Structure 1
């Protein structure tokens, strides 16, 4: 949700307060390895849903003729639109060496384009310590304002797996968390942090150096 507000602070999305998510993103993850074969970085690509893409493009005064194509100047103006993160914001991407949480750098080498009515944005996150063996990656918004679905996973020379969440259990966890909210709490503003239980889990195992 912090990422959504950073990108479009003036956007108001209609719908019931508890009807999360509001934004739908497709994710691509590419594993980048160092000279020793260890995982050193992740290239994260986000493809925004058509509605939110249109909102963002319109708010920025881009594509005024509505032909779905940005000029070179408009494309330049789009760069970095979702890279202005608050200090300490994890960027909705979480990495683990097995079960041990790994620190990730802030985003670098961000690039964005508008294609087929959707904004596609990518950036690189560096692992504080390169990883050999099992790497686990999750992409989720804790408040589930944004739903991320991993569509593409690339890790050349490594074994990969995408594990789907148990949506029945996730829905139960959501309903239980909502039931615990005090009656005077604005559900939209105080939505429980259940995004992790709805998240896919990426598993990457690279050969030992």
Structure 2
């Protein structure tokens, strides 16, 4: 178990070395912001479906009984490993309220499932402190190392729910990488390829949800 956990953690921790300057893992994601009745953020719901290549590597590492699937106990081990290993990356979830970062608590659980050759993770995050939806709140889901690509196929995959959102406007922003590179040539130097986390390029190109209340 220790060996399997270490392997998945290594893949998901995504150490920032030169070879990791472009995506190797691909996630089809769905994201939902839930508003509480008092107008604060209740929770952030995430569903991540991984590409088949990465999913097969997880199957190889965690299929203890070698029956070519992930049984409930094995899925539980996957979820536990991800919950621990991605904590230092805030589960790729970045939230700002009027320009100020909003810290998130560790999810209670990370639910894992394996179907049709794909691993899916489902989990919810809650702010450490009460955060009222007032002014501009921005939600971005991205890997700062650029090793994992998080994709939202449709704008509706970044959703809001709760009656309090009736007073708000929602906008999905999809930056164009070529334009971002052209606008930031002075800062995106060769250092970027040695240390992707030394720049904010992943943040600049990430699809994000902006809410004005």
TM-score norm. by structure 1 comes to 0.75
Q: Which has the higher helix share?
A: 2
> Match of 1:139?
141
Q: Cα deviation per residue 1:39-78 (whole Å; 9 max; x = unaligned)?
A: 2221122211111111111112258343xx5333433343
Deviates more, 1:152-161 or 1:97-106: 152-161
The count of residues paired between Structure 1 and Structure 2 equals 192
Aligned pairs for 1:82-161 (under 5 A) are 82-85=82-85, 88-127=88-127, 128-133=129-134, 134-151=136-153, 152-156=157-161, 157=163, 158=165, 159-161=169-171
Deviation at 1:197, TM superposition (A): 1.7
Q: Distance in 2 between matches of 1:18 and 1:75?
A: 27
What is residue 164 of structure 1 aligned with on the other side? 174
Larger displacement relative to structure 2 (21-30 or 158-167): 158-167
1:201 aligns with 2:203: no
Quick one: distance in 2 between partners of 1:107 and 1:173?
36
- Larger deviation: 30-39 or 117-126? 30-39
The two structures, once aligned, show a CA RMSD in angstroms of 3.2
Q: CA deviation at 1:120?
A: 0.9
C-alpha contact (below 8 Å) 1:138/1:199 kept by paired residues: yes
Does 26-35 or 135-144 show the bigger shift? Answer: 26-35
SS at structure 2 position matched to 1:155: strand
Contact 2:63 2:70 in 1 (8 A): no
Going from structure 1 to structure 2, the CA distance change for 1:160 and 1:39 (only over 3 Å counts) comes to same
Give 1:8 shift: 4.1
After superposition, the C-alpha distances for 1:160-192 in whole angstroms (9 at most, x for unaligned) are: 32110122123447876664339xxxx4x6335
Partner of 2:36: 34
Unaligned stretches of 5+ residues in structure 1: none
Which residue does 2:3 correspond to in 1? none
Match of 1:7 in 2: 8
TM-score by length of 2: 0.74
Gaps of 5+ in 2: 1-5
Distance of 1:136 and 1:145 partners within structure 2: 22
How far did residue 82 of structure 1 move? 0.8
CA distance in 1, matches of 2:87, 2:11: 21
